[in-house]
């Protein structure tokens, strides 16, 4: 029995926006690492494909997928009906949700009832941005500032450029640790969301491989190992 060598395996380009720890981030050597990256690599290993990881702005991921510049989105992307119109999502691979955070020295805002007339920073194109704009349209928030990277969103909060951040809870928790407690969460259950890997609409072959691989790595303990590495 001959084994397929690594060279013979197809390579799929994975697009990700790497300011989203612990799902995707850049390590000291400049390499993109994280839960999503290890998981899609493990799925590739199980299914016989290689992955090449590419940095893409979060709001540019779906266009990059549709135009064929990338083959897979692995970027903490929430499965939504709106996105389902443009891409096909895998089975959910983890649950998360939006949280509202403020600077630690903010004594003014302690709940959602205190958001009247306040300003928010969010990641461009994210579900957090959609939520913030909803609150603005409802006359609650006075301004929503959208940035192309979550580290910039968090800096804006810490530097006092905005009052709140609306972003995925596990990621805001990562920044809280990174930023030595300069950020605090005031509402950790704004939404309940599921992340999926996305492929081009109609790319059933790749979608089936991802779903089969996901099931296999969930069953053989690989998923738990990756989870233990990034969520401890």
Site residues, ligand GLN (CB under 6 A):
17, 20, 58, 75-78, 123, 126-127, 150, 168, 193
Q: Minimum CB separation from ligand GLN for residue 37, in Å?
A: 13
Residue 32: is the preceding peptide bond cis (ω within 30°)? no
Please say which residue, 17 or 46, places its beta carbon nearer to ligand GLN: 17
Please say which residue, 78 or 174, places its beta carbon nearer to ligand GLN: 78
Please say which residue, 127 or 222, places its beta carbon nearer to ligand GLN: 127
Q: Minimum CB separation from ligand GLN for residue 191, in Å?
A: 9
Q: Minimum CB separation from ligand GLN for residue 47, in Å?
A: 24
Distance of CA 47 to CAs 27, 38, 221, Å? 26, 14, 16
Q: Minimum CB separation from ligand GLN for residue 58, in Å?
A: 5
Please say which residue, 96 or 141, places its beta carbon nearer to ligand GLN: 96
């Amino acid at each position: 029995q001959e084994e397929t060598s690594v060279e013979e395996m197809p390579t799929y380009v994975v697009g990700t926006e790497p300011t989203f720890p612990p799902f995707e981030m850049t390590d000291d050597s400049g390499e993109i690492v994280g839960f999503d990256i290890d998981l899609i690599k493990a799925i590739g290993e199980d299914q016989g494909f290689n992955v090449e990881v590419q940095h893409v702005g979060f709001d540019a991921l779906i266009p990059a997928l549709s135009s064929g510049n990338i083959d897979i989105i692995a970027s903490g992307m929430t499965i939504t009906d709106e996105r389902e119109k443009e891409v096909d999502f895998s089975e959910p691979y983890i649950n998360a949700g939006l949280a509202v955070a403020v600077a630690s020295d903010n004594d003014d805002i302690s709940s959602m009832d205190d958001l009247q007339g306040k300003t928010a920073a969010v990641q461009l194109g994210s579900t957090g941005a959609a939520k913030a704009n909803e609150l603005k349209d409802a006359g609650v928030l006075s301004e929503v500032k959208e940035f192309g990277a979550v580290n910039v969103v968090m800096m804006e909060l810490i530097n006092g450029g905005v009052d709140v951040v609306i972003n995925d809870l596990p990621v805001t928790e990562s920044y809280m640790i990174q930023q030595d407690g300069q950020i605090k969460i005031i509402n950790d259950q704004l939404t309940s969301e599921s992340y999926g890997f996305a492929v081009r609409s109609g790319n059933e072959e790749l979608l089936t491989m991802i779903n089969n691989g996901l099931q296999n790595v969930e069953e053989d303990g690989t998923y738990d190992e990756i989870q233990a590495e990034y969520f401890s």
